[in-house]
Structure 1
């Protein structure tokens, strides 16, 4: 019986494991090793870690967790979970064979998966000159000619947001924009171009975007692409355990990352709209604080 099982080895899960390890809790961290930012060359906006490769940050975190003998890290995917009648949790793990582990509290830090544009050439530029978050990668492409891939309200909103970093912007909707006249006027007023032609492919050299080729044969020269797309929960464990989801599809969490399932916490990208590494790490720490407090109350009783 562990005090806590943490599912997810990203910044939220690793941060929680660190705090709980320092609280002398017995912790099992399960990591399927499929990080959302695997394609990224560096993470940004994290104090003292600005520009660090994501894999390096995870390596350093694991190395530092080695100092805490109560923390065990296992490279395994959690395939099922249930809350027992006594309030404890059972997690089924798969690391080449199924195994069930139990804990008093459970923290899900499994994150989300992005729906990527299905356009030829996108895989080559993803994480190198194609991004979904301007807060993470806008600075590196400031004042450059940028394209926005998206349509309807999401595409328009991202295009307007990017005016902070560049004024040479073109919204490429890959078909009808789906925008009312007022929104089209707003784009025009802010100097944002609009291309509704179907996109044939993204053309790049060594992962750096050079142009967007439309099905008409015409090309639009651009240096980087930001795309507006949906994301989804990377794991269905929260739903299986009975968590309420928001209209956007995030797990509904309260103070200190609590959920409406007693003893279950959700932290990181799966629970918040602000999806930054530093925010995920902070949420993991807050969840760990709350978990240790609840365990302490139970132990004292």
Structure 2
């Protein structure tokens, strides 16, 4: 029976990265507890793509299959709930949940991801992950050659347009206010026949999350089948920062090449510590981090 007061590792976050790390550690015979609130950031996304062997499956299907496989390792346990606080102990760390349950372990791994901050545009949140998408590698093939919009401005918006342009010949950049593109950037858009709309957006019209039109504040409308956007993000869990973990300038948890944060014994993997957001990269990150944590445990024991 697992001693929840003397674990090797507590993993906070039970989606792809956390489960991948749990598998690595379970196979290394480490006693692990995975704490998960059951609210993944991609819960609204209908299908996951660009993940070999899983292409086209729903995010939920992938997660359920992964958890069932990880559960076969008898040293891995699961706790459904929200971790709200962490503290340093003499031998490691303790985690306290919303229900006031307390668990202790030698090491912590935060696979908690990021929280997307939806812009104040009616309809945006309802379409997010369905027809308002962030990554062409994850979703671009499915909306190829369709009427596509892109929400962005300035240098970041221009670079986003460059990345998307070959997936469709019908692309419109919505700056949602006055353009901050340089004259050269605006000329390049015109050269590639990419429309530029500076009028502020009133709302997104949609049918069960599938965008149909962008309604502008001048009462005109632009017909669309998909829109790319990169809303602002924050760390989904504040516990790492409360423990003293540093953030990078873009807001990711700062980690070294072994996914160690700036606090000894505390690791991070997946979306919370890297720019690339995909199921495949989260799994790769978790698998590697599980092995890195086991290596540190070995060095402390032998």
Match of 1:203 in 2: 205
Listed one character per residue, the Cα deviations across residues 205-224 of structure 1 (whole Å, up to 9, x for unaligned) are 34322211112121111111
Give the CA deviation at 1:87: 4.8
Match of 2:146 among 144, 147, 157: 144
How far apart in 2 are the matches of 1:267 and 1:199?
Answer: 36
Residue matched to 2:54: 49
2:3 corresponds in structure 1 to none
Equivalent position to 1:287, from 286, 289, 298: 289
| Cα displacement (A) at 1:123 | 3.3
Provide TM-score, normalisation by structure 2. Answer: 0.94
Instruction: Quote the Cα distance in structure 1 between the aligned partners of 2:156 and 2:234.
Output: 16
Task: Please tell me whether residue 35 in structure 1 is matched to residue 37 in structure 2.
Answer: no
Q: Given the alignment, which residue of 28, 33, 46 partners 1:23?
A: 28
Per the TM alignment, residue 51 of structure 1 is displaced from its structure 2 partner at its CA by 0.9
Distance 2:35 2:284 in 1: 19
Aligned residues: 297
Name the CA distance, whole Å, in 1 between partners of 2:121 and 2:22: 39
SS at match of 1:203: strand
After superposition, residues 95-244 of structure 1 pair within 5 angstroms as 97-244=99-246
Q: In the alignment, what sits opposite 2:96?
A: 92
Contact 1:158 1:228 in 2 (8 A): no
Shift of residue 92 of structure 1?
0.9
Per the TM alignment, residue 69 of structure 1 is displaced from its structure 2 partner at its CA by 1.1
Selected match of 2:76 from 68, 71, 75: 71
CA distance in 2, matches of 1:261, 1:123: 35
Question: Hey, what's the Cα distance between the residues in 2 that align with 1:83 and 1:191?
Answer: 57
**Consecutive unaligned residues in structure 1, runs of 5 or more:** none
* SS of the residue 2:252 aligns to: coil
Moved more, 104-113 or 167-176: 167-176
What is the CA–CA distance in structure 2 between the aligned matches of 1:153 and 1:120, rounded to whole Å? Answer: 26
For structure 2, the 5+ residue unaligned runs are 1-5
Q: CA RMSD in A?
A: 1.4
CA contact (8 A) 1:2 1:28 kept: yes
Question: Aligned partners of 1:285, 1:256: CA distance in 2, in Å?
Answer: 11
Distance across 2 between alignment mates of 1:108 and 1:286: 14
